Every structure is written in C-alpha cells, then in structure tokens.
Structure 1
C-alpha cells in the first residue's frame, strides 16, 4: 500500500513538472508582432494586384506567404479615426475619436483617453515589450477657440502611452525629409530632428530595436512593435530621387490607368476632397513614395531574419486609409469610394497560418481582437471591444461572417452630422446630410460596376428602400444620432 502511495506521489510530481515545462515552453514561444501601417496607402497600390504601376516586391512576398484580406476597409477613412479604432477595437462614436485630432476638436473630447483599454495595454499586461514608432496622431493639443490658429501636433506624455515602453514618435506633421520625434524619455521641449527621409530613418530605428544593442526592449520578452509610416501621405514630392527615377519620363496621363479618373470635381458630389486640377500632376511622386516604403519594409524584414526573430514574428501590413488620386475627380480620402475606403490588410505568419486570399468583410475594430486571437490572447480581449475575433478564418475554420461594413464620416462638434453608409457583397451605399438636414444618396452596384462609375440611386425604388432600411437598422444598433 505504501509503495502504491509513493508511486502515485511520484506520478503526480512528474505530471506537474511536465505541465510546468509545457507552460514555460508556451510562454517562451509567444509570437512577436510587427504591425506596419502606411498613411494614405491605397489598396490598388499593392503590386501583386497589377492595378497601380508600382514596385512592391517585399509587400508582395508578405501577401504571397500570408493571408491577404481582399475586402478590408477603413470605416472612417481618416488618420486619427483609423488609429482610434485600431487601438480600442471600437467604432468612432464609442471611442470618441470621430475625426482627425487637432486643437479645434480637443474640447469635444476628440482624442484617445488615458483610461481606455487599448491593444497595447493588453499586450504590455501579458508580458510584451510594446513599442511605437512614427506618427501617433491620437492626442488632443491644447484647445483653441474658433478663429485661432489650429494646432495639429502634440507631445504624448508617458502616462498617456498605453503600455508602450519604447517610444520614438510624433503627433502629426508632414516633414518627410526633415522629421522630428520625441524619444522615450524626452520632455515636451526635447524634440530630435533628423535630416533623412522619415521611412528610411524609422527603418534604421526599428532595426536597432531588433538588435537591442541599447536595451530598447526586454531581452527575454516577446515584442510588439507598431510602426506608423507617414508617406505616401502628402506632400508626395518629399521622396528620395532614386524612387522618383523609377517614373522618369512618365506623367499622370500615362500612370493613372483607372477608368474612373477625372480631372474636374463632379458637381453632383456632396462630399470628397477637391483640388484634383492642382495636384494630380504629383501622381508619379505618390507611386515613388509607395516604392520607397516597400524598400524600407524590406530592410526591416531582412533584419528580422538576420536577428533570428523572423520565424516567430507575425508581420501585419495595413494603412490608415487610401488615396483617391483623381478617381471620381477627387483627391485624398474621407469618402466612401473604393480608392479611399479600401485598405491593405495582410497577416503574415507562415509558422502557423497558410497563404490565401480571404474575402471576409473585415472592419478596423476587428483587427485588434483577431490578432489577439492569433497570438493566443483571445481570453484577454477587453469587454469594451466592439470588433470581432476572426482569427479562426486564418486557420480555415468557420466563423459567423459579417454581411456589411460601416462607412462613417462626421464631426466631433456634431456627431449627428456628415455621411453614413455601408458596403455589402454587392453594393456600396452612402448618404450625406447637409447643414440643413437634407440628405443626398449614392448607390453603386460594385459587382457589375467595380469602378463605381454610375450612381444608381433612384432607379429601383425597392432597392433604395432596402438600402435605407438596412442603414437605419445598422445605425440604430450603434446608437448613432445621425438617424434622428
């Protein structure tokens, strides 16, 4: 009897030791995360799609080896709202980042709050060295009154950095050739200015971070690096000559090959950035920026390989929003058309997921929970998150697939204003409300009109009614005051 008891004790100890060892091994093999997002990088500028005339061999390789979400959108195609959704997993009305952060909007609470539980908070609380590099654009500068000069940039104090222990960032500026940054321990008046193209300099900083020669991260901990690249955001012309040389002898007439490119602003549109006639000639520089961004991403990927970190690092490539670049007679963003609304979203982790193209109607608030699910942290997704964990689709498992994607455009001073809409598998629908409350409608049958050349609103009353009803139900479910 005594012998049996001893045997059982030894067996329990052995099993316990084995369990502890497995737990330790699991802890040691937590994947790293490198989340790269380039500002104003449109989906057609992914070289492997053969749409825009770009050279993107490094991003192409990520897509060929990873999961390319072919229908990802920026639900509010602006810098700050995308970042707010990415960090909180919530839509703009819930997280408060309704438009781009600046001093005229700070009084309305249009900034990321210190008490909000963010993607980076979850990672830091679960053993990750979290790092942020590049453009932040989520802080509210000191408020200014109407008529005063609007301030865009802001220093982010350490207590507002949501778990990021390494910081090499700025609020927002468009100084691509002479950028400045606040480092981890720098005070408000201690900027570091660099005489180098910002993506190239940031790649230098990221490579140094990977090498960890200056103890930028905890050596034994997994890392999570968020790299926000400003180009190809305007000014497009601030790009090294070697990338411009790829388009020597070309101009916008030969490069802009989309059927919907126009050179005047359409009179029937009630939303969208004007100025196509003033800036369309910069198209070659936009594509040059794309080539340069890809080149710097390639440098970082090579450094991951050389440091032995590549195999265990999830690499994500995305963008804040797209760029119209003359399509529909518009420039830039903040509109429902595909060139602004659609964004790249590639998840690369060959160690665990196979290569495929995925047509899930994924939204920006879904990015955080989906990646946490992939990283084995699905039980740590905050209850405040409105997005869904779709990590199972990465493993070809069934999920409850969404049937539409929200389009949102509003102002913090009046959240009931602006535009709302959605995209489903067949149509894009949007409605714009003017200052008097009158609405203007836009409906495109994407399945047969991929360049959205014809607004079919008013041609089929039953279809129009269906779109309005579905939009109203969606907005009601989100407590959106726009429908009142």
Structure 2
C-alpha cells in the first residue's frame, strides 16, 4: 500500500515536473520569438535614388532618410530591373521573374484576361514570414491584382480589391489596389468586404504613418500579436503622380526655385520629343510639360514622405524597438522628370532603374557604411528572409539570390550584373532585355516589327548616359553581350529563343 502511494506521489511529481518543463519551453519559445528581429520595409512609389538628400544629387530635403543612412548602410547599386509598379511588386513578393510569376506588366482590367496578378499558389515573402512565426502587415498601395472589366464601362480600371485568401498570410491589412488619390485616399481594412471602403480626408502619407504608429505601439494589444515579431510592408504612394496632391507646407521650400535650380541633372531636355525612342512602348514621351509644372511638387512630396517616415522611426524608438528592427527604405522604380526628354519610368536609364536602398539594423550593421553591391528585386525576398533567420519554407525555385552575408559580413560572391526587362502584356517573349553591371548598361531592344537596336552606356565616364557606345568598343560590347545571353539562359527567359531565331534567319 505504501509502495503504491509513493508511486502515485512520484508520478504526480513527474507530471508536475513535465508541466514545468513544458511551461519553461513555452516561455523560452515566446522569448525567442520576441528576440527575433522585426522588419519595417518601406518603399515609396516612384522615388529615384538621386532624390535622397545625402546622395548630393537632386536639391531635395530628406533629413530623416539622411539620418537613417548615417545610422546604417547605403547600397548605391539597387536596381529596379523592371522599373514599373506591378512587375517590381511581383518580384518583391515572389522572388521570381515576371515570366515565372505571371505579373508581366502593370495590373489593370485590360490585363485581367492574361491573369496578370499575384498568383495564389506562389509561396511568397509573407507566407514564409508567417510560417516562421511573424505577424505580417501590409499598408498602402498593392497594385498586384488585375480586376475584371465592368460591363458597359470602356475605360481601364486600375484599382482592385484583393480577397483575403489571396493576401498570402498578411493578417493586418490596410491597403488598396492602385488608386492615386493622395489627398482623399480610401482603404480596405482587414476583413472589409469589397463594398466596405474606409474613406479618409487626409494626405495619404500622413494617414498611413498614423496607422503604422498605432500598429507599432499596439496600445489595445489587438492590432498585432505582441508575443510575435512583426514584419510590416509600407507602400506609400507619393511621390507617384498626381504630383500636385501634396500639402502646401512641403511645397514652400521649392516653389520659388527655378527649373535650372531644381532640374540639375546634365541629361534634362524639356524641349525634345525623344523621337529616337518612339519604338519603345514604355517610354513616356511628349510629356515634359509635367516636369516644368511639377518638379517642385515632386520634391515636395519626397520631403513630405521623409517627414512621415521620421515620425514612424520615432515611434519605433519610443517603443524600444529601434535596435532590433531591420528598417529598409527603397522604391519600386524612379522618375525620369525630364531626363532624356522623358517622364515617368519603364526604361533602362538610371533615373528610372536606380532606386534608393538604405538599411539600418543597429544590432548587426555598423553605422556610416556604403556599399556598391548590385541588388535586384528578386534578391530581396531570399536576402531579407535569411537575414531574419526565417529559413523554414523558403521556396527552392526562386530567381533571386541570398545576399545577406554580403550585407552583414561582406562575405560571399557578389553578383556581376542585374537584369533589365520590358515586356508587353500577355507576351512573355516580347520586349527588351539588358543588363546593368557596376559600370555599364547594355540593352537589346526588339520592337513589334522585330527591329533590333542596341544601347550601351559607360555609367562611370558618362553618368548621365548621353552617349550610346554601340560600335565604339567591339571587345567590351562582345563581353556584355555574352554576359546578357548567359543570364538569359540561366533564367530560362523565353525572349532568348525569339532573339536567337531572329538572328539565325539574318
């Protein structure tokens, strides 16, 4: 009888011990999760690299971005390999190239028939984050869904509702498709249905910063899971057009300056119709009047967005999260703003392709660092996931490379080039292809008549890309040409077969 009682007591102690061990394990898991770094990924739309004050190019005021850069690392060769909204976002979220993720061009109702949208079955950035224990949030412009055309409506529909089951694990959602209404924005919030929009009478950048500050501070403990690290993506629409939708207080610093004082790049041509680029369907020609009218507004929007980013960074600090939060500032593409007689983006010139890339992580990245590492949109997903330590579930079929060791330890083999793309809707083998190395840009264009043109620029000796070097250095041209063909082969680009077939018949 005594033996039985002892056995029962011993068993009870063992069960209690197991319970304690289980609780300790659970507490350790929670502790580990909270020690995992947070991510704040901010990508203002249409922000070119030259428009960051610390780069000493455009005459623009960005004190908060400048300070962030001094506290971390600037990567000067961040390249938007397809400098257009939806293709960049598709590459960012999937780590795959456009002809592998179906987002061949900008999403709108004309492309619905091509299913030019973020694919539900593509394991994406946010899917992996959530699988690894992150609370994932998305705020601002998405532009990854092509809506169905509306009966009886001939005009193109750009904005689109993205159903919850197609948001790839994002549990906090304060977003819209592609509505450029900066002063009176609207959003689909979390579980809202398609007809349940939240309208706001405030500049979108300011309102979204308020939402993010609330998300970070989490006062009610129900905005996000406080026992999880967070990964927050913020796509603020300004400085994307319409340029005039910007609070007057930001315009003050620029409105009295002349065009010559603002448009200081040596390739600005406001009188040209850029007819030499008429073959390129992506080039925005005959619109340089917008540069004359709105360059001061463009820079004002940049300054305004900078102020809102500063408010968000202050909230991180007040919450005690700044040291263990990876903050990244970049953009989906730049803005030509009159350079080469063009506006907008979607072309191989630096004003469109070269985007900001600032990364701050006090625990791992020393301040005041500068790097000329080449980094492309498809590299961002594997690089950041590995940086965070969230390796479980990363797809093996990504087109991008993990560059985390190069950024954190300056160890590893650097990419020698980044691809350039222009693709027509529904036609994966169409358009132009090129590469951007640290020193040169090399592009082969094929127009709708299969006429081939070659562009080659020395970006060191000729930083404004004023001289096409084609035919002037045969040896270099051959090297760059072979590098491009090798990359096209590696990435299984359907354009390559078209190009080789055309040249075979010549």
Q: Does 1:265 align with 2:273?
A: yes
Q: What aligned pairs does 1:173-322 form with structure 2 within 5 A after superposition?
A: 173-214=179-220, 215-263=222-270, 264-269=272-277, 270-271=279-280, 272-281=283-292, 282-322=294-334
Superposition pairs for residues 447-466 of structure 1, below 5 Å?
Answer: 447-466=460-479
Cα distance in structure 1, aligned partners of 2:136 and 2:34:
16
CA contact (8 A) 2:406 2:414 kept: no
Please identify, of 106-115 and 169-178, the stretch whose mean Cα deviation from structure 2 is larger.
106-115
Answer yes or no: is 1:86 the counterpart of 2:97.
Answer: no
Query: Which residue of the other structure, out of 378, 383, 386, is the alignment partner of 1:365?
Result: 378
Aligned-residue offset at 1:80:
0.6
Deviation at 1:150, TM superposition (A): 1.6
Query: What is the distance in 1 between the residues matched to 2:192 and 2:177?
Result: 14
CA contact (8 A) 2:33 2:133 kept: no
> SS in structure 2 opposite 1:105?
helix
* Cα 1:17/1:210, change in 2 over 3 Å: closer
- Out of 35, 38, 47, the residue aligned to residue 41 of structure 1 is 47
CA distance in 2, matches of 1:280, 1:24: 52
Partner of 1:348: 360
Within a 5 Å distance, the mapping from 1:128-143 to structure 2 comes to 128-143=134-149
The 10-residue stretch of structure 1 (245-254 or 180-189) with the greater mean CA deviation from structure 2 = 245-254
CA–CA distance in structure 2, aligned partners of residues 354 and 425 of structure 1 = 24
- Report whether the alignment pairs 1:396 with 2:417: no
CA deviations on 1:291-323 (whole Å, 9 max, x unpaired) are: 000000001111111122222211110101000
Structure 1 gap segments, 5+ residues each: 1-12
Q: Which residue of 1 aligns with 2:421?
A: 408
Q: Deviations over 1:321-365 (max 9, x none)?
A: 000111111111000100000111111101222131111111111
1:339 to 340, 347, 351: 351
CA-to-aligned-CA distance 1:229-261 (integer Å, 9 cap, x gap)? 000000111100000001131132321111111
* 1:323 has 2:323 as partner: no
Superposition TM-score, scaled by structure 1 size: 0.93
Asked if 2 retains the 8 angstrom alpha-carbon contact of 1:354 and 1:395, the reply is no
Q: Displacement of 1:265 after TM fit?
A: 2.7
* 1:479 matched to 2:487: no
Q: Which moved more, 1:15-24 or 1:231-240?
A: 15-24
How many angstroms apart in 2 are the aligned matches of 1:107 and 1:144?
13
Structure 1 residue 26 and structure 2 residue 37: aligned?
A: no
**What do you get for the CA RMSD once the two structures are aligned?**
2.2
What are the residue-to-residue correspondences of 1:118-129 with 2, within 5 Å?
Answer: 118-129=124-135
Preserved CA contact (<8 Å) 1:104 1:145: no
Shift of 1:29: 0.2
Give the Å deviation of 1:278: 2.1
Q: CA deviation at 1:470?
A: 2.4
Q: Structure 2: which 5+ residue stretches go unaligned?
A: 1-17, 499-506
The 8 Å contact of residues 130 and 164 in structure 1, kept in 2 or not, is answered as yes
SS at match of 1:304: helix
**Structure 1 residues 19 and 353, CA gap change in structure 2 (3 angstroms):** farther
Tell me: CA distance 1:273–1:147, structure 2 relative to 1, closer, same or farther (3 Å): farther
Instruction: Measure how far apart 1:15 and its partner are.
Output: 12
Distance 1:15 1:200, change over 3 A: closer
Q: CA distance change for structure 1 residues 43 and 145 in 2, over 3 Å: closer, same or farther?
A: farther
Q: 1:85 to 1:305 in 2, by over 3 A?
A: same
How far apart are the structure 1 equivalents of 2:429 and 2:149?
Answer: 22
99-108 or 387-396, larger mean C-alpha shift = 387-396
Note the C-alpha offset of 1:376. Answer: 1.2
Distance 1:286 1:150 in 2: 25
Task: Quote the residue 1:444 is aligned against.
Answer: 457
In the superposition, relative to structure 1, how do residues 231 and 419 fare at CA in structure 2: closer, same or farther (>3 Å)? same
CA distance in 2 between counterparts of 1:62 and 1:369 reads 23
DSSP-derived class of the 1:428 partner: strand
Name the CA shift for 1:207/1:431 in 2 (closer, same or farther; >3 Å).
same
The answer (yes or no) to whether the contact 1:135–1:169 under 8 Å persists in 2 is: yes
Match of 2:115 among 67, 92, 109: 109
* Structure with the greater alpha carbon radius of gyration: 2
Counterpart-to-counterpart distance in 2, 1:449 and 1:307: 46
